[in-house]
Amino acid sequence: MKYTYKRAAYWLFIFILLSLVPLIVALTGNIPGYRGFWTELGVALGFLGFGMLGLQFVFSGRFRKIAPTYGMDNILQFHRETGIFAVIFVLAHPVINLISNPEFLEYLDPGVNFMRAIALYFVSAFLVLILATSLWRIMFRLDYERWRLVHGFLSLAILFIGTVHAIQVSHYLEPFWKKAVIGASFLTYGYLVLHTRLVRPCFNTKKPYRVVSGNRERGDCWTLKVEPAGHKRLDYICGQFVWITIGPTPFSLQQHPFSIASSARDKTLSFTTKETGDFTSSWKNVKPGTKVFLEGPFGSFVPEKGHNLFLIMGGIGITPAMGMLRTMRDSQDPRSAVLIYANTDWEGVTFREELDVISKEINLKVIHLLEKPPEGWKGETGLVTRDLLKKHMPDNPEKSMFFICGPNPMMDIAEISLRELGIDWRLIYSERFEII
Ligand SMILES: Cc1cc2nc3c(=O)[nH]c(=O)nc-3n(C[C@H](O)[C@H](O)[C@H](O)COP(=O)(O)OP(=O)(O)OC[C@H]3O[C@@H](n4cnc5c(N)ncnc54)[C@H](O)[C@@H]3O)c2cc1C
């Protein structure tokens, strides 16, 4: 899917509009008397933060209407950044109000209203906790799965207490329909969570896949090949990815994103991983016949018709490129492709033999880049640099799409270098495996 200014503006407009819904509701119809700039600002930030927080459930919920537009990594990055602002706005609401008008201190007095005071203490603690665990997950020694569970629980609890608080205080929410809209917003966002965590896996139980084989690859990688068990294989475009659950049920905390590395023409799907943690290390023990569940496809890391391909891949980042190149081979695609493939050493170059064969079957030029080359190596050495990309740039770069996938530092350099070399941002596509 091609990036465009129009689509970016459209989604930004929708985001701003939906974020403002609670504030617009509060300011519609009869509004109470003015209580001074700081108090009203504090209240406005509360409503705005509430709207932005609710929308985070849309971004993190892997909705396929939204996900393909900008790529999962970009959407999660957006979620991360706007989520931080949402939490800061919600936190600013009590801080500004308490400083501007000490009468609000009674909200925190359990002697005046026990439930209200306790709820406000809890929500403040939850807000600080969600911010801290999102920014410093590793420091808190939370693995990704546990963090995701805590994160979901905290977000829902914050939104629930915020809804009850706004309805209870009711200052801007008279008459009743305003309370109904705020309540309905909470229920909608709550349903999105249910949809992602329960409804979707429920549908998925009917479409299991079965492991056909597991194979070791160069570079300490492992490939799992899976086939649909009694149903049609999911439709996807090469370069896309799916969320994988391995085991008897899709209801699992261990659901991870993986690029589809096989050709879109294959009946089976294959995924290749490099061991990084508990899930990826478990692949080598997965026996043929084991059930697997796939959710997707997702991703906008896909080549458009009529464009040549310029692929800048590092290490295990090769997987989406393998999907593209294998599909080009199987469909006798006449387009040209350049692959700059960065690795530490020659022995660890995953799929190097197959790439050699594919480069003879289609119009593919593979440029291996090694950090630690063997003796007598005549190819490129070192890391990805602007000069290296310039050297291998196609004659008509505007006719190419540029795909980047690999370790984050490599991706940062490649993205900046391509922009410095004058490549239009709408032609540059990145897939980040390391989200946080
Ligand atoms: C779009 C996309 C495509 C990917 N394709 C591949 C691929 O083809 N091959 C491959 O080896 N790796 C791929 N990854 C990375 C892979 O998902 C992680 O390496 C894997 O989830 C790590 O899990 P773990 O338990 O083994 O390691 P952990 O040590 O638990 O996690 C290592 C890191 O992986 C990420 N991660 C872990 N769990 C999840 C999760 N449930 N959802 C999102 N991110 C998570 C986090 O950034 C975490 O810090 C892809 C990632 C993304 C986002």
Which tops the pLDDT comparison, 378 or 58? 378
Looking at the structure, do residues 49 and 195 belong to the same domain, yes or no? yes
Read off the pLDDT of residues 292-305 as tens digits, 9 standing for 90 and up.
999 989 888 999 98
- The Cα–Cα gap between 241 and 296 comes to 7
Q: Is the CB of 242 under 6 A from ligand 1?
A: no
pLDDT of residue 436: 58
The reply to whether 39 and 124 lie within a common domain is: yes
What does the pLDDT average to over 304-322?
96
Say if residue 262 is in the same domain as residue 199.
Answer: no
Residue (of 97, 99, 76) closest to 151 by Cα position: 76
End position of a domain, from candidates 272, 298, 324: 298
Q: Are residues 224 and 336 in the same domain?
A: no
Neighbours of 120 (CB within 10 A): 17
Residue 76 CA to ligand 1 centre (angstroms): 13
Name the closest-CA residue to atom 3, ligand 1: 258
- Whether residue 303 lies inside any domain: the answer is no
Cα–Cα distance for residue pair 313/296, rounded to 1 Å: 23
CB 308 within 8 A of CB 334: no
Average pLDDT over residues 34-47: 95
User: What CATH number corresponds to the domain at position 420?
Assistant: 3.40.50.80
Here the CATH number for the domain that contains residue 270 is 2.40.30.10
Q: Is pLDDT above 70 for 66?
A: no
Considering the domain architecture, whether residues 110 and 141 belong to the same structural domain is answered as yes
Domain annotation covers residue 53:
yes
149, 196, 279: residue to mutate for ligand 1 pocket, most atoms within 8 A of CB: 279
- Nearest alpha carbon, ligand 1 atom 6: 258
Q: Per-residue pLDDT for 63 more than 80?
A: no
Instruction: Determine the residue of 73, 197, 280 to mutate for testing ligand 1's pocket, defined as the one with the most ligand atoms within 8 A of the Cβ atom.
Output: 280
Q: Provide the pLDDT for residue 67.
A: 54
Asked whether residue 215 falls in the same domain as residue 357, the answer is no
From the list 400, 399, 390, 334, the residue with the least C-alpha distance to 367 is: 390
Q: Which residues contact 283 (CB under 8 A, 6 or more apart)?
A: 214, 222, 224, 246, 273, 275
The answer to whether residues 186 and 288 belong to one domain is no
55 belongs to a structural domain: yes
Domain co-membership, 247 together with 366: no
Is the CB of 74 within 6 Å of ligand 1?
Answer: no
Predicted confidence at residue 266, as pLDDT, reads: 95
| 171 and 263 co-located in one domain | no
Task: Please state the pTM of the whole predicted model.
Answer: 0.89
Q: Residue 75: which pLDDT band, with cuts at 50, 70 and 90?
A: confident
Report the domain count for the chain: 3
253, 277, 298 — which closes off a domain?
298
321 pLDDT band, cuts 50/70/90, is: very high
165 alpha carbon to ligand 1 midpoint, in Å?
38
Given this model, what pLDDT does residue 300 score? 84
CA-CA-CA-CA torsion sign (58, 64, 67, 73): positive
User: In this predicted model, which residue has the larger pLDDT, 401 or 305?
Assistant: 401
pLDDT-derived band at 11 (thresholds 50, 70, 90) equals confident
- Measured from the Cα of 71, ligand 1's closest atom is 1
Angle (CA) 53-54-56 rounded to 5° is: 70
Asked if the model's pLDDT at residue 68 lies above 60, the reply is: no
Q: pLDDT band for position 2 (50/70/90)?
A: low
> What per-residue confidence (pLDDT) applies to 3?
63
User: What pLDDT is recorded for position 299?
Assistant: 85
Q: Is 259 in the pocket of ligand 1 (CB under 6 A)?
A: yes
Instruction: For 145-179, give the secondary structure using H, E and C.
Output: HHHHHHHHHHHHHHHHHHHHHHHHHCCCCCCHHHH
Residue position matching structure tokens 């990309």 = 389
Report, as an integer, the average pLDDT of 87-105.
94
Q: Measured on CA atoms in the order 63, 80, 221, 406, is the torsion positive or negative?
A: positive
What pLDDT is attached to residue 130? 95
> Do residues 14 and 92 share a domain?
yes
The finding on whether 308 has its CB within 6 A of some atom of ligand 1 is no
Residue having the nearest C-alpha atom to atom 37 of ligand 1: 144
> Are residues 35 and 135 located together in one domain of the fold?
yes
Q: Determine the atom of ligand 1 nearest the C-alpha atom of 273.
A: 11
Please tell me whether residues 213 and 200 are part of one structural domain: no
Q: Is residue 436 part of a domain?
A: no
Domain end call among 184, 204, 224: 204
Instruction: Please check whether residue 387 lies inside any domain of the structure.
Output: yes
Query: How far does residue 148's CA lie from ligand 1's centre (Å)?
Result: 13
With a 6 Å cutoff on the Cβ, whether 174 touches ligand 1 is no
Task: State which residues form the domain around 364.
Answer: 308-430
